[in-house]
Amino acid sequence: MSGPLDGVLVVDLTRALAGPHAGMMLGDLGARVIKVENPGSGDDTRGWGPPFLHPEGAERESTYFLSTNRNKESVTLDLKDDGDKELLRELVRRADVLLENFRPGTLERLGFGTDVLEQLNPRLVTLSISGFGHDGPEGGRAGYDQIAQGEGGLMSLTGSGPDDPQRVGVPIADLLAGMYGAYGVLAALIERQRTGRGQVVRTSLLAAIVGVHAFQGTRWTVAGEVGRAQGNHHPSIAPYGLFHCKGGSVQLSCGSEGLWRRLCTEFGLDAEAPGVATNGERVDHRDQVIELLERAFADLTPEELLARLSGAGVPAGKVRTLDEVYGWDQTLSQGLLVDVEHQTLGPLQLPGPPLRFFAPGPDGETETTRRDHAAPPVLGSSNEEIRAWLSR
């Protein structure tokens, strides 16, 4: 129940979101993650609010920090101090993984370039996350999520229309870079089993955004079409999107001609009518399809419409607010809300990890997912313990 990375030691030098998210993912998998923070202030996100818990007291904690630092320990080191640098060297000697997201060149200036790290620990896997890449004409640029969303083309695909570019409602460039980074670390750890040596894994916010262009990317590279934002409807499938009904809206997806025919049968529509008989025709006449369906849905509440769609076997769903998501029994059944005990805040509920693990056996599957999650650490809460350990 301790996780597949039990026994792996991760030294996390990162701050803000991309690197800490990678560290949290590794911690969720059972790794021991030691978060190295600046004395006094700590990770930048400790000050990102509101909202804060205990906003006026010495025990103030940012909910932003709490979102991305579970299953970690905190130690404070001043990387400009020779004594603290030696403690970091000792951590590196013992570590399996080092995470950093300084601007390119910063770690070298602090005396921990890749050559030094390799000398300290040839088996070390280093994850290095930057804004726009570690080389190239703009490799030194600072990286911030919304800027990367714009520079990477994602905002041009998001919004009500081509003249309304919108950022995604979460810092998706940071989160994706962290996810790709953790994925790269796992691959490097597997390769280390074969070679006995570590390596450097590099990714960036730009790479993470381009990495999820999916069909919009090949739409340009292969077909020569530049995708543009078009609101809540799919550019290549129709009907697929959000449809208004009495007192609300519902999302539905007809990803095949069979589903289109089921939908039409349920609501008394002609599936073979001119202009809507094939997916290509429906994409070309999307506004006509939307008008046709919303007219058929006009007298149905969202609950009534969802029941009809479910009965017809057409994939559909609500647009939930976050309080509805975390109160939904399906969310709870998947372990996506976890209970932790914070050192100063007491009992907390946090969003849980998105992976579950199962071991097959003669009597069926046994879940082996990690259950004992630790709350995000108070700044420097493991100072004495870790310093004592390093001195042995």
Task: Using alpha carbons, select from 370, 293, 315, 381 the residue that is nearest to residue 342.
Answer: 381
3-class SS of residue 34:
strand
Task: Using alpha carbons, select from 75, 70, 67, 64 the residue that is nearest to residue 29.
Answer: 70
Q: Is the bond into 362 cis (omega within 30 degrees of 0)?
A: no
Show Cβ contacts of residue 280 under 8 Å, excluding neighbours closer than 6 positions: none
Sequential DSSP letters for 54-123: STTSTT-EEHHHHTS--S-EEEE--TTSHHHHHHHHHHHHH-SEEEE-PPTTHHHHTT--HHHHHHH-TT
Stated as kind and residue range, the H or E segment containing 180 is: helix 172-195
- Please provide residue 252's backbone torsions phi and psi, each rounded to the nearest 5 degrees: -140, 160
Which of 174, 284, 323, 339 is an active site residue?
A: 174
Instruction: Give the orientation angle of helix 302-312 with respect to helix 257-267, to 10 degrees.
Output: 120
Provide the phi-psi class of 57: left if phi over 0, else alpha when psi is between -120 and 50, else beta. Answer: beta
Q: Are 289 and 282 in contact (CB under 8 A)?
A: yes
174 catalytic, yes or no? yes
**Eight-state DSSP code of residue 225:** -
Q: Which residues are the active-site residues? A: 174
